[in-house]
Structure 1
Amino acid sequence: MPYSLTDKLVIGISSRALFDLEHENRLFDAQGVEAFSCYQREHEDEPLRPGTAFPLVQALLGLNALLPARRIEVVVISRNSPDTGLRAFNAIEAHGLAIERAAFTGGARSLVGYLKAFDVDLFLSRNPGDVQEAIDHGVAAALLYDPPADFRAPAGQIRIAFDGDAVLFSPESERIYKTQGLEAFIAHERLHRHDAMAEGPFAKLLMRLSALQREFAAGTCPVRIAIVTARSSPAHARVIHTLRDWGVNVDEAFFLGGAPKETVLAAFGAQMFFDDQDSHVRPASGHVPAGIVPYAGGRLLPDAAQITSPESPCPPAPR
């Protein structure tokens, strides 16, 4: 029987998000595909260091051993060629990651079709264009920042933190704040405090994670979910009512009222933090792995796009 991914939590990830390939990417940018391909072949048996998403991927895959059936799948979806992609698979084996599936697309113009073919629930990448396109086509995606230098993942746990507006929830309320100011925002949220907000790009991922939590007996689930938002009272009430409407319980929620997020995230020990604002993601990325979520139909913020050059769109290596 064919193996179905439709009932799994599927993480799609680029090789640069999973492993540290920044030196190799700079080589591609400076010297081109032939130099890059030769380098990858010459070093394909050398282990790669973990990248930004490595702690999250490692922890998620570890969940499978705690469940009666395999529920988490990770698929490498890369613009590298199959030839140059061999080094990534060698690194996967060296690190003992249970990743069996990959799409090495050899510089394909678009990855969206492959993301949907693999039923991807979340796509993590270092390529701004790929992330934007995924979001525009309804796939939850984030552009990852450089990993923190001294991050240590909490042993035996998975901790994921989300911003609220424009990530879990629609950007409607945030637009009111930006266009009409704080007083109009508070008045709007107070008026609609019992009305559930529309789903944002990561709502379905949150629901998937919440469903996964329910597969564990009470008090035994290693997955903890937090909302870390700039909202404060009285705007917090609508968040709670929205989660109730969705049938989702989060483990922790922080309503910071504009206070810095990074110290709370460090205390929480997030293996990944998702936010739509560079002003939050950049300082957070010095403490925990973090990624920025672009607006559908919009652009990543210019300074966010400058955190990395696109993942090398490597066609098949020349013979």
Structure 2
Amino acid sequence: MPVLLGDKLVIAISSRALFDLDDSHQVYEQEGLEAYRQYQIAREDEPLAPGEAFQLVQKLLRINSLLEGESRVEVVLLSRNSADTGLRVFNSIQHYQLGITRAAFAGGRSPFTYVPAFGCHLFLSTHADDVRSTLEAGFAAATILPSGRPRDTGDELRIAFDGDAVLFSDESEQVFQRDGLEAFQAKERAAAREPLAGGPFKHFLAALNRIQTEFGVDDCPIRTALVTARGAPAHERVIRTLREWDIRLDESLFLGGLDKSEFLRAFGADLFFDDQEGHCQRAVGVVPTGHVPHGISNLRKTS
């Protein structure tokens, strides 16, 4: 009988998001593929340093040790490397004792096509084109931005989400950008009882939420937050939408246009997802950040 991942939370991650491959990538850019291959083979027993999403993966996999019975979180490696050059990555996985056993090495091509095959809820990568392709295929994905900041060592996994174009569709953001704040607020007030359509991260949040329900309130290892520029009266539609979806967020911050950075610092996010590059560039100075190139704010970059 084939093994199926079933109702696990499945996260796909690229090798450059998991480990620091900047030196290796520089060899590839400057000297070409064969030099890169030889560089990796010569160092395949030298563990790579942790990358931007390393601690996130550690915390995700730790959840399995807290639940009795079958594990509930699966992390798979999706890499543009070949299996030959990727051996160093797997050796590093073993060095850090990460519970990652499945991988797809695409041999120089984009590995995003394996996202649906693995049943992934989320793909994290440093390669923006792979992220865009994954989003266009209907799956949650984000480009992990470089920060170089030291990581918190606490065990609780804290994930923060922007609302429009991330958890929700960008239908309201389109009104705001086309007609301005007053029209946006009037539309949201009139549509307060009409649930918003889901955005690319709805199913990922729902999968997180299912795991949260397996723990008591006081011992849950996952904490989620909505951090949105919306304020009153546009808050009501968001609250009613989440209620309609039967999805719980632990914290909801309606900032009414305030800069999100200090609020993200206060929440202590292990990763924050936002569709707008300006928000991401400010946030990455305080917390690890993933850019979600989806919706009207990113149309100019795909045209």
**Per the shorter chain, which TM-score range?**
over 0.9
Question: Which residue is equivalent to 1:97?
Answer: 98
Classify the secondary structure of the residue corresponding to 2:90.
helix
Question: Which residue is equivalent to 1:60?
Answer: 60
Listed one character per residue, the Cα deviations across residues 145-178 of structure 1 (whole Å, up to 9, x for unaligned) are: 003422324x120100000000000000000000
- Aligned positions of 1:212-231 closer than 5 A: 212-231=211-230
Listed one character per residue, the Cα deviations across residues 108-144 of structure 1 (whole Å, up to 9, x for unaligned) are: 3x43331111111100001111000000001110011
Tell me the TM-score normalized by structure 2.
0.96
Question: Which residue is equivalent to 1:243?
Answer: 242
Pairwise CA distance, 1:215: 0.9
Structure 2 distance, partners of 1:40, 1:299, is 35
Between 1:210-219 and 1:192-201, the stretch displaced more is 210-219
- Aligned positions of 1:164-175 closer than 5 A: 164-175=163-174
Relative to structure 1, is the Cα distance of residues 298 and 182 closer, same or farther in structure 2, using a 3 angstrom cutoff?
closer
Pairwise CA distance, 1:287: 1.3
Question: Which residue is equivalent to 1:123?
Answer: 123
* Letter aligned with residue 288 of structure 1: V
Question: Which residue is equivalent to 1:6?
Answer: 6
Listed one character per residue, the Cα deviations across residues 156-206 of structure 1 (whole Å, up to 9, x for unaligned) are: 201000000000000000000000000000000000111110000000111
Question: Which residue is equivalent to 1:159?
Answer: 158
Structure 1 distance, partners of 2:27, 2:144, is 20
Question: Which residue is equivalent to 2:31?
Answer: 31
Classify the secondary structure of the residue corresponding to 2:225.
strand
Classify the secondary structure of the residue corresponding to 2:55.
helix
Tell me the TM-score normalized by structure 1.
0.91
Classify the secondary structure of the residue corresponding to 1:232.
coil
For the 8 Å contact 2:165–2:295, the answer to whether it is kept is no
* Letter aligned with residue 61 of structure 2: L
Question: Which residue is equivalent to 1:15?
Answer: 15
Aligned residues: CA RMSD: 1.5
Structure 1 distance, partners of 2:102, 2:256, is 43
Structure 2 distance, partners of 1:191, 1:33, is 57
* Letter aligned with residue 93 of structure 1: Q
1:181 aligns with 2:186: no
For the 8 Å contact 2:16–2:126, the answer to whether it is kept is yes
Question: Which residue is equivalent to 1:307?
Answer: none
For the 8 Å contact 2:12–2:75, the answer to whether it is kept is yes
Pairwise CA distance, 1:296: 5.9
* Letter aligned with residue 91 of structure 2: N
1:260 aligns with 2:259: yes
Structure 1 distance, partners of 2:187, 2:218, is 37
Question: Which residue is equivalent to 2:82?
Answer: 81
Question: Which residue is equivalent to 1:293?
Answer: 292
For the 8 Å contact 1:135–1:296, the answer to whether it is kept is no
Structure 2 distance, partners of 1:264, 1:297, is 25
Classify the secondary structure of the residue corresponding to 2:52.
coil
Structure 2 distance, partners of 1:290, 1:100, is 26
Structure 2 distance, partners of 1:233, 1:293, is 25
Pairwise CA distance, 1:301: 6.8
Question: Which residue is equivalent to 1:274?
Answer: 273
For the 8 Å contact 2:78–2:112, the answer to whether it is kept is no
Structure 1 distance, partners of 2:277, 2:108, is 28
Relative to structure 1, is the Cα distance of residues 145 and 59 closer, same or farther in structure 2, using a 3 angstrom cutoff?
same
Structure 1 distance, partners of 2:36, 2:92, is 17
Relative to structure 1, is the Cα distance of residues 298 and 288 closer, same or farther in structure 2, using a 3 angstrom cutoff?
closer
Structure 1: unaligned runs, 5 residues or longer: 303-319
- Aligned positions of 1:34-45 closer than 5 A: 34-45=34-45
Percent of aligned positions with the same letter in both sequences?
51
Structure 2: unaligned runs, 5 residues or longer: none
Question: Which residue is equivalent to 1:311?
Answer: none
Classify the secondary structure of the residue corresponding to 1:93.
helix
* Letter aligned with residue 62 of structure 1: R
1:70 aligns with 2:54: no
For the 8 Å contact 1:132–1:300, the answer to whether it is kept is no
Question: Which residue is equivalent to 1:150?
Answer: 150
